[in-house]
Amino acid sequence: MADAELGILILWVFLFVYSIAGSIDFGAGFWSMVFGTKRDTKAADIANRFLSPSWKVTNVFLVLFVVAFVGFFPFATSTLGALLVLPAGLALALLVLRSAFLVYAYSTHQYSGLLPVVSGVTGLLIPGLLVSALPLTLGGFLGTTPEGESSLLFGKLLTSPTLYAHLGFGLSTELFLSALFLADYSREGDDERSFRAYRNAAIALGPTTLAMGILTSVTFVPEAQWIARGIAEQWGWFVLSVASFAIGYSALWWKDPRGRIGFARIAVLAIVAQYAFASIGYGRAHMPYLVYPILTFEEGFTSPQMFNALLVGYAVGIGVLVPIFVWFWRLFLKDKTYLRQGGGES
């Protein structure tokens, strides 16, 4: 495997983990806001119980991805900076706002009333903004100033159907995946009423998510037809993705070993596999371009010496972080005492 391909693989792992963890994290904030107004379920408590420790860990993967990208592809930062200044800047501002409220709301009651609203609204907007960066790399939205510098064509972007299709896909994906995870989280804490609330939400969102995924592929601008042809060539990965969706969605009607309707754990794992297969197919279709048609991965890649140094540094860092993540999982996601705080049948 070439150095650039290995760098892409490392970036994909960080990005995929962040996209899954971030979807669940941001979605939990939205569901906390929605179910916080309902007195007949403790679904909001379930979301808050997950959200309280998880948002700190989720941001770790975002930092890892950004640092790895700048380290592995330093010659691509200026071009991507011109493209992503709008969505990345807005997403970063909202992320700072959300993090500030999450910190201070748990430290003082002064902001506790605003926390669900801020967390819920930003939890909707941030994933949509991040996903909207995808069509920017496909061509058609980058112009050149009289000085020869790259610039984003804001007008064309804001009037393009593909932008809003990607926004819709990001929102539906976030809510679907987070509803599935929180259903499993509720069942792990033996809260069947909350499980049913999240299961119903997932059932409603599943077909919407699949439809939005298809819509993004048919609304590409003419300059992006190269990616449509690449996706067609990678059809096997997308067949596996659709098959995984069928398994995960149908698992919401299976019976678990205790005879309860809805096998949430299988549903979560299958849907995560769905996104893994789809992202692999999309990534392979995107090769070799980082930004079409002006920048390839090879052109943006760092020197072999710097790559080897970064590789050693990341290997050591991951070796330190993995035991911490395992400890976090066992403490907050598997510990029955923590899961049942304020939970149980209601």
Per-residue pLDDT band for 157 (boundaries 50, 70, 90) equals confident
How buried is residue 319: exposed, middle or buried, by Cβ count under 10 Å (0-12/13-18/19+)? exposed
Taking only the tens place, the pLDDT of each residue in 60-112 is 888 888 888 888 888 888 778 777 777 888 888 888 888 777 777 666 666 56
CA 132 from chain center: how many Å?
A: 12
Spell out a b/e string for 159-198, using b for 16 or more CB atoms within 10 Å of the CB, else e: ebebbbbbbbbbbbbbbbbbbbbbbbbbbbbebbbbbbbb
Place of tokens 């960066």: 133
pLDDT of residue 235 exceeding 90, the answer is yes
Residue 299 CA to residue 290 CA, distance in Å, equals 9
Ranking 151-155, 190-194, 199-203, 275-279 by mean pLDDT, the lowest is: 151-155
pLDDT, residue 240, reads: 96
Residue 302 CA to residue 313 CA, distance in Å, equals 15
Taking only the tens place, the pLDDT of each residue in 260-314 is 888 989 999 999 999 999 999 999 999 888 888 888 888 888 888 888 888 888 8
pLDDT, residue 2, reads: 78
Residue 318 CA to residue 16 CA, distance in Å, equals 16
Per DSSP (E only), the strands in the chain are: 142-144, 150-152, 289-291, 295-296
Task: Note the pTM of the prediction, 2 decimals.
Answer: 0.87
Which letter does DSSP use for residue 290 in this model?
E
Helix axes 235-250, 192-218, angle to 10 degrees: 160
